[in-house]
Amino acid sequence: MTLTRLTSLLLVASIAMLFQSAVFAIEHPKSEAIELETSTKVSKTEPTYPGLSGKDGSPRFDGKKRFSLEPGQSPPVLDIQVGGEISVSDNRVVKNPWSSKSFESKGKVQLVQYVAANRGAARQNKPFNDSLIEKRFTSDELDITIIVNMADTMGFLQGFVVKKVAKNKEMHQTIHFVIDDNGLGLQRWGMKNKSCAIIILDANGKVLFAKDGPLSGLEIEKTIKLIEHQMI
């Protein structure tokens, strides 16, 4: 077997592990995390990123934008035209333009996860998601949006990732799955690459809590209590 052939087989084996059933589907407590294979370690320092492609006319991003999700304020508007919210109809995967303005009209507490399309990022907040699952909140109590950052995903893998996200959507219809092809969240919200952010919004879309990266045990406990308090 040639080295090229062996490398291809190893890549296929790694891809086969991408995007398992969504841990974010709180109505299915046995489901596992959206996971993607990666060996990248998360840096504790602010990284710099290559410029984005700007296919939707957005400016190129130099990776120096500061985290901009401030408690008591609405998130800066994130309009995703390249990618968008996933829906599945008659076995067809459809991506519709999506805007964070939709947060303003939910009428209930909201959980938003902005996660890079790799396993390492998804696993960062697995303890939080496990705690969330144990609470067994319903979709009437908690609205969930998962935004998948595809900015650093290789082009030939992007189609596969979209298919796996679509499969998750079919399994969990009440969850909003959004594909951010250009990584606009990195620019508009000051997110880190290869990371997973947890954002809690009130019924009017105002930020109650936001952190990009792993939550500590104390932060998990406080965040779950915060969600519960908003349901009273």
Domain locations along the chain = 3-37+65-230
Q: What is the pLDDT of residue 51?
A: 35
Contacts of 18-21 spanning 24+ positions with Cβ under 8 A? 18/119, 18/157, 18/160, 18/161, 18/164, 19/161, 19/164, 19/165, 19/167, 19/168, 21/168, 21/171
Per-residue pLDDT of the chain (232 residues; tens, 9 = 90+): 554 443 333 333 333 333 344 433 333 333 333 333 322 333 333 333 333 344 444 333 334 567 889 999 999 999 999 999 999 988 899 999 999 999 999 999 999 999 999 888 989 999 999 999 999 999 999 999 999 999 888 878 888 889 889 999 999 999 999 999 999 999 999 999 899 999 999 999 999 999 999 999 999 999 999 999 999 7
Q: What is the pLDDT of residue 39?
A: 28
Q: Classify residue 201 as exposed, middle or buried by CB count within 10 Å of its CB (0-12, 13-18, 19+).
A: buried
Q: What is the pLDDT of residue 2?
A: 53
Cβ atoms 190, 96 nearer than 8 A? no
The pTM is what?
0.75
Sign of the Cα torsion 93, 96, 101, 106 reads: negative
Pull the structure tokens for residue 199. Answer: 């954002």
- Give per-residue pLDDT as tens, 109-153: 999 999 999 888 989 999 999 999 999 999 999 999 999 999 888
The third-level CATH classification (topology) of the domain covering 3-37+65-230 is Glutaredoxin (3.40.30)
Instruction: Report how far residue 158's alpha carbon sits from residue 117's, in angstroms, rounded to the nearest whole number.
Output: 9
Instruction: Report how far residue 34's alpha carbon sits from residue 25's, in angstroms, rounded to the nearest whole number.
Output: 10
Q: What is the pLDDT of residue 74?
A: 95
- Give per-residue pLDDT as tens, 7-26: 333 333 333 333 344 433 33
